[in-house]
């Protein structure tokens, strides 16, 4: 047999050789686990479209955090689910000192000082209309049109970031997609004495159907209209570079692309254009699809999830926010990957 072709299989012969030539590794430090905190007491409520993910009341939150910490996961992202009666048109609960997120952050930092707590800075979980900012409505041709006022919203978002930092958040992660949010939040944090708190910007966030289960979990679906006037069009990739460029100029410390799996080309170009640490958000709909198929017995969950996470890192992500974090880190401990 002629020897003129390459023998790629030489480097695939044994697990040890495959390990030596492996280009991408998963490590527990790559993973951020989202947690949902809700009102009331003695609540541990499974989110129906996200099996294995729960809403916890403050008094039971440590059950979840204990597990995360004992697995060695370095970081959590905190989302608040306030009661419907606590919501109003300007999202007061987002920047109240006694807001559900502020209380959760204080509790976590008091009991687990080493855990890196990331605060999602947005208004949508706290507004009665479900939009990420201040809304002005007007009627036209029998339809109600909603306008999210960019600059008015910025004032409240800056207040939200400062109150989260005051509660003890280690990283501020603004997800609202208002123009100028990084600059305004940076200035507000600096003024309040939080020069050392980094901003993880949801720089490239698409208007995506993949957020469906999250909106059920956080009860944050817009009550009218959609988010297309502030979140990005899924058809665009050059626009992602413009968004990221703005946030870099405004002082972002890390950049995020969200969702993850349908946007791996975006992760790659953002990685190639910018040097900041890059985060991929493997969102609720991506989680729900895998869980649903796994529950049917149609796929191998562990294999599929591992492959997805490797794909995101290969595409350029340094960190991954995923509802699978605990599972992946558990599997890594078993040295399965
Ligand atoms: C808040 C926010 C959302 C998500 C993270 N932060 C919802 C949205 O923009 O509608 C989605 C996360 C997920 O789907 O897992 N704006």
**What is the per-residue pLDDT across 187-213, written as a single tens digit (0 to 9) for each?**
999 999 999 999 999 999 999 999 999
For every residue of 177-205, DSSP letters joined together read --TTHHHHHHHHHHHTT-TT--BEEEEEE
Quick one: which of 220, 95, 240 has its CA closest to 156? 95
Where helices occur in the chain by DSSP H, the ranges are 15-20, 61-70, 92-95, 100-111, 150-167, 181-191, 212-218, 238-250, 264-273, 284-295, 301-314, 325-333
| d(C-alpha 156, C-alpha 125), whole Å | 14
| d(C-alpha 223, C-alpha 272), whole Å | 38
Tokens of 112: 């687990």
Does residue 31 line the site of ligand 1, with CB under 6 A? no
Does residue 58 line the site of ligand 1, with CB under 6 A? no
Q: Which CATH superfamily is domain 26-333 in?
A: Aldolase class I (3.20.20.70)
Does residue 54 line the site of ligand 1, with CB under 6 A? no
- The answer, yes or no, to whether residue 318 has pLDDT greater than 60, is yes
For residue 243, how far is the Cα from the chain centroid?
17
Q: What is the pTM of this model?
A: 0.96
Q: What is the pLDDT of residues 77-132, one digit of tens each?
A: 999 999 999 999 999 999 999 999 999 999 999 999 999 999 999 999 999 999 99
DSSP structural state of residue 318: S
Confidence band of 337 (pLDDT split at 50, 70, 90)? very low
Coil, helix or strand at residue 163? helix
Q: What number of residues does the chain have?
A: 337
pLDDT at 30: 97
Quick one: which of 217, 27, 47 has its CA closest to 120? 217
Quick one: which of 113, 128, 246 has its CA closest to 178? 246
pLDDT at 37: 97
Coil, helix or strand at residue 175? coil
Tokens of 318: 């340094």
For the chain, how far is it from start to end, CA to CA, in angstroms? Answer: 35
ipTM of the complex: 0.96
More confident residue, 262 or 335: 262
The answer to whether 258 is a known catalytic residue is: yes
| d(C-alpha 217, C-alpha 50), whole Å | 8
Of all protein residues, the one whose alpha carbon is nearest to atom 10 of ligand 1 is 211
- Residue among 44, 109, 258, 326 flagged as catalytic: 258
* Rounded (5°) CA angle 86-90-93: 40
The partner residues of 117 in beta bridges, in order of sequence, read 76
DSSP structural state of residue 233: P
Does residue 123 line the site of ligand 1, with CB under 6 A? no
Domain locations in the chain as residue ranges: 26-333
Question: Widest CA span of the chain, in angstroms?
Answer: 78
| d(C-alpha 276, C-alpha 270), whole Å | 9
Tokens of 117: 């707590």
- CA 287–ligand 1 middle distance (angstroms): 13
């Amino acid at each position: 047999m002629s020897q003129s072709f390459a023998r790629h299989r030489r480097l695939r012969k044994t697990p040890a050789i495959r390990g030596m030539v492996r280009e991408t590794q998963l490590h527990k430090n790559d993973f951020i686990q989202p947690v949902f905190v809700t009102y009331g007491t003695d609540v541990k409520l499974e989110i129906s479209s996200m099996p294995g993910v729960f809403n916890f009341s403050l008094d039971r939150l440590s059950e979840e955090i204990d597990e995360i910490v004992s697995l060695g996961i370095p970081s959590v992202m905190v989302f608040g689910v306030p009661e419907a009666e606590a919501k109003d048109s300007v999202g007061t609960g987002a920047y109240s000192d006694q807001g559900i997120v502020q209380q959760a952050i204080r509790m976590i930092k008091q009991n687990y000082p080493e855990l890196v707590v990331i605060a999602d800075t947005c208004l949508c979980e706290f507004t009665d209309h479900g939009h990420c900012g201040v809304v002005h409505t007007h009627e036209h041709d029998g339809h109600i049109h909603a306008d999210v006022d960019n600059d008015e919203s910025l004032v409240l978002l800056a207040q939200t970031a400062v109150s989260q930092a005051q509660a003890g958040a280690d990283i501020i992660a603004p997800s609202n997609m208002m123009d100028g949010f990084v600059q305004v939040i940076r200035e507000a944090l600096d003024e309040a004495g939080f020069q050392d708190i980094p901003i993880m910007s949801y720089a490239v966030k698409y208007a995506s159907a993949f957020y469906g289960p999250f909106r059920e979990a956080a009860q944050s679906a817009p009550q009218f209209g959609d988010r297309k006037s502030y979140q990005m069009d899924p058809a665009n990739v050059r626009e992602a570079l413009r968004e990221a460029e703005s946030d870099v100029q405004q002082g972002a410390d890390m950049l995020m692309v969200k969702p993850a799996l349908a946007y791996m080309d975006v992760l790659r170009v953002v990685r190639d254009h910018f040097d900041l640490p890059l985060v991929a958000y493997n969102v609720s709909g991506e989680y729900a699809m895998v869980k649903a198929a796994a529950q049917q017995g149609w796929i191998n969950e562990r294999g599929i999830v591992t492959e997805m996470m490797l794909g995101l890192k290969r595409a350029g992500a340094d960190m991954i926010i995923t509802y699978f974090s605990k599972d992946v880190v558990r599997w890594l401990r078993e040295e399965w990957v």
